[in-house]
Structure 1
Amino acid sequence: MHHDFDSQRQYTLQHDRRLSAADGQLQMEGVGLAALAAEFGAPLFVYSTPEIRRNVDEIKQAFASHANTRICYASKACSLLAVLQVVRESGISIEANSVNEIRRCLAAGFAGSQIVYNGVVKRDEELEFAIRQQLHAINVDSEHELQAIDRISRQLQIPVRICLRVEPNVKAATHEGLMTAFRAKSGVDLADAEGICRQALDMPYVKLCGLHMHVGDQVPDAEPFGAATRVLVDCARQLEAALGVRFDMINVGGGIPAPYRYATDRGLGGPDNMQPQIGANEFAAAVIREVHAWREDIEICIEPGRKVVSSAGVLLTRMVTAKRKTLLREDGSVEGQVQWCMLDAGFNAIPDYKDWYFYVYNASRMTDSHNQPVKLGGPLCDGGDYFRHGPLGEQFLLPEASAPGDVLAFLDVGAYQLENQTVYNAQPRSAAVLIDGPGQYRLIRRQERFDDMLLLERDLS
């Protein structure tokens, strides 16, 4: 097992388009990561502009056989303004799930016509703001929401484009918390779609553009996407015939998986969704096949988030202290010894609520063999604040010479980690740096300060 992990480390250094080593230290896009931690402090998120662009290009190429494709980056994956600007410059559109996400998209330079708006809760004031921006589409989640859109659009006398989110109820082999079928809160029943769409057709400022769905996140195989698209297409075909309309678009949502255990990694097993067998090409083929069986002219809208930014982000954390402890069984007998390495980043920086696997390397000693089993603990006053999913179960592998002061790198943390940071124990939220190319990097978010934490309690206006 140690050999498998270390072989993967060496393979990654030799073949990964993002990573390399110089003077024994890990580099990303030619920039030394330990040096970034020294300059900006840790914990520190580091993002790669070239990797974001490469990921977007992969998705574009995957959908090249369907020219009328709209790629809408799911901004919830990482909504840093600088990251959103890189996404915008790559030539794609964007998806938002709250009015403040819409505002972030606008602040990053997106036009309202480039934004689709999701969400199960859209308050009247949020809908009013969205309608005023003349978005590409609002994905309607309920009959009640549609009626609110009708009322507000009449008051404003502004047309609004909508899609109706339906629930295809297709099983996908991913983490239970990432499932959106059977018992999920989003969307309407297929049986209710016609009645709701008929209401929309009678609303003077509402333009019914099509249907929307979402299968799930980090789904490891293509079949659920094909099956769900087939359900969505069948529903759209039936609605076009029953209502005498012709839809402009069909939105199949997101879900393109990103690898957290790489295809070349033959080490410890784990959930299939950590080592998916598909990527953008297989996702696109499954979707396009089903849509083209119906219509080849319609706009296909997709909402990838994780695939765009996951591999573009690394978290740097410093080892602050280390110690050995005895492992005891419940009967008091000794099971063995364990080496603990305590980091300045814990679940406050990388929430582990979905049992995720990350490669962790010593960025300060990247070319040393990683063969020493250790447990990695965070700084929080919580006995559960330690990382549980390493190459040896709850243990990770680091160089034997690892010592306090070393910088560790968690790979592939670009999606949903920075966005989910907490301030538990008054731990500040992390700074972020963006690497634009070899030797080119910039601070795009400073670390939270103590005064920032008190601001909402001091400024009560």
Structure 2
Amino acid sequence: MQPKELLALAQEFGCPLYVYDAAKIKSQYDRLKNGFSKVARVRINYAVKALSNVAVLQYMKVIGANLDTVSIQEVRLGLYAGFAPEQIIFTPNGVSFEEIEEAAALGVQINIDNLSVLEHFGTKHPRVPVCIRINPHVMAGGHTNISVGHIDSKFGISIHQMPHLLRIVENTGMHINGIHMHTGSDILDIEVFLYASEILFDAAKHFKTLDFLDFGSGFKVPYKKGDIETDIEEFGQKLSKRFNAFEKEYGRDLTLAFEPGKYIVSEAGFFLAKVNVVKQTTSTVFASIDSGFNHLIRPMFYGSQHAIENISNPKGKERFYSVVGYICETDTFANNRRIAEITEGDILCFRNAGAYCFTMASNYNSRYKPAEVLFKDGKGILIRERETFEDLLRNQILLD
């Protein structure tokens, strides 16, 4: 999207504002699907946790995606958006057994990552098909919060517990129809991912009635010009060749599945905020915006680097600014960043704001959550209204 288009949306819908470019969402989906065009059956399960607005989920269905969910609420959002139960996989961690049973009753694909839960579920519901999440003990991904395949991770059943796992399956007679792994986000080294994939292939040989192998996701997207990203075409070529060979060896048709979230929506998202104050101190020039980590916490939580542009003055002379929020704590989006000269009232645009941005927003300091807009076919469509004071009071009860 161009600065003029984003500025027009800021003027139409106000700030702060999340904008999602439908064309970019589709191009990312198509790129991933095309990367595995040599595999007969490919299923892309969009990770709802990245961006869960129901209008976005509706659009995912239109372009051909299925859904990966981690909570019963995300399952219900997917059903509400029009997905059939068989188009949804449920991959929770540490939830109650009742939540897993509720998801199973809705007819979605269950994915279990705990031996005790597996045994309990298999004993009670031996006829319900189950996918098993394996921890391959392979460290892939960037920040420690998003690398989930290592030995100390809370996710998945250790590959070293395979004998125990097989005993449970045999004793319960349960039907295992899928094997899954997820090593983490921001994967840079394709060879590390392929190494983890070999572990999944070896695990799959223990089960004779599999329908799919789910390789998770974690593909890195660029956050700035020249940034490293996962080479989907090279990765697709290498994994496709290996998958097709394994399918032939396995002797049964298999579906190759992925569960991308950030890869599909990150670059499609823009966060627009208005500059309230430009403040010069003895050493720094602060640009304070009408937002904070209540709306975009990733820079403070992960140290993520979102490119920031002054779309009100895109060709202005660049100066150095620290971009900060209005929260009554230190909420710094960027330190000493080169940005076109900023004046009060200008609109700043944060790029890569599609994934884990609005979904992690809060009402901290009793601030309202922003509006969301889907930019589709050259037009902005409001898909979430800006909150009001009445929204803050909803569900709160005064004392008598």
TM-score category (smaller protein): over 0.9
CA deviation digits over 1:40-62, x for unaligned, max 9?
A: 22110001111111111111101
1:405 and 1:108 mapped to 2: Cα distance? 37
Give the aligned partner of residue 246 of structure 2: 294
2:234 and 2:291 mapped to 1: Cα distance? 36
Give the aligned partner of residue 138 of structure 1: 110
SS at match of 2:74: helix
1:285 to 1:171, Cα distance in 2 relative to 1, 3 A: farther
SS at match of 2:129: strand
SS at match of 1:434: strand
CA deviation digits over 1:206-240, x for unaligned, max 9?
A: 42013111011111221221010011112222x14
Matches within 5 A, 1:8-407: 19-20=1-2, 26-27=3-4, 32-135=5-108, 137-153=109-125, 159-172=127-140, 174-180=142-148, 181-203=150-172, 206-237=174-205, 239-240=206-207, 245-263=208-226, 275-296=227-248, 297-326=253-282, 337-351=283-297, 352=299, 353-369=301-317, 371-382=318-329, 384-388=330-334, 394-400=335-341, 402-407=342-347
1:101 and 1:300 mapped to 2: Cα distance? 23
How far does residue 422 in structure 1 lie from its aligned partner after superposition? Answer: 1.6
Given candidates 383, 392, 398, the residue that maps to 1:453 is 392
1:173 to 1:52, Cα distance in 2 relative to 1, 3 A: closer
* Contact 1:221 1:277 (8 Å CA) reproduced: no
1:92 to 1:122, Cα distance in 2 relative to 1, 3 A: same
2:90 and 2:49 mapped to 1: Cα distance? 12
Normalised by the size of structure 1, how large is the TM-score?
0.81
CA deviation digits over 1:253-279, x for unaligned, max 9?
A: 11111111233xxxxxxxxxxx33423
- Larger radius of gyration between Structure 1 and Structure 2: 1
1:311 and 1:119 mapped to 2: Cα distance? 26
Whether 1:412 and 2:344 are equivalent positions in the alignment is no
Count of aligned pairs: 392
Letter in 1 for 2:332: Y
How far does residue 118 in structure 1 lie from its aligned partner after superposition? Answer: 0.5
* Contact 2:370 2:387 (8 Å CA) reproduced: yes
How far does residue 201 in structure 1 lie from its aligned partner after superposition? Answer: 4.2
1:257 to 1:459, Cα distance in 2 relative to 1, 3 A: farther
1:385 to 1:410, Cα distance in 2 relative to 1, 3 A: same
Give the aligned partner of residue 13 of structure 1: none
SS at match of 1:387: strand
Letter in 2 for 1:311: E
Identity across aligned pairs (percent)?
30
1:282 and 1:55 mapped to 2: Cα distance? 15
1:279 and 1:43 mapped to 2: Cα distance? 33
Unaligned runs of 5+ in 1: 1-18, 21-25, 264-274, 327-336, 389-393
Normalised by the size of structure 2, how large is the TM-score?
0.93
How far does residue 131 in structure 1 lie from its aligned partner after superposition? Answer: 1.2
Letter in 2 for 1:374: Y
Letter in 1 for 2:36: F
Letter in 2 for 1:65: K
Letter in 2 for 1:364: S
How far does residue 152 in structure 1 lie from its aligned partner after superposition? Answer: 4.4
* Contact 2:271 2:353 (8 Å CA) reproduced: yes
Give the aligned partner of residue 380 of structure 2: 441
Unaligned runs of 5+ in 2: none
SS at match of 1:294: helix
1:162 and 1:286 mapped to 2: Cα distance? 28
CA deviation digits over 1:368-427, x for unaligned, max 9?
A: 34x111111100001x21123xxxxx2122223x21111010011100011111211111
How far does residue 290 in structure 1 lie from its aligned partner after superposition? Answer: 3.4
* Contact 1:256 1:283 (8 Å CA) reproduced: no
* Contact 1:360 1:408 (8 Å CA) reproduced: yes
* Contact 1:78 1:419 (8 Å CA) reproduced: yes
2:121 and 2:237 mapped to 1: Cα distance? 35
1:139 and 1:290 mapped to 2: Cα distance? 24
SS at match of 2:198: helix
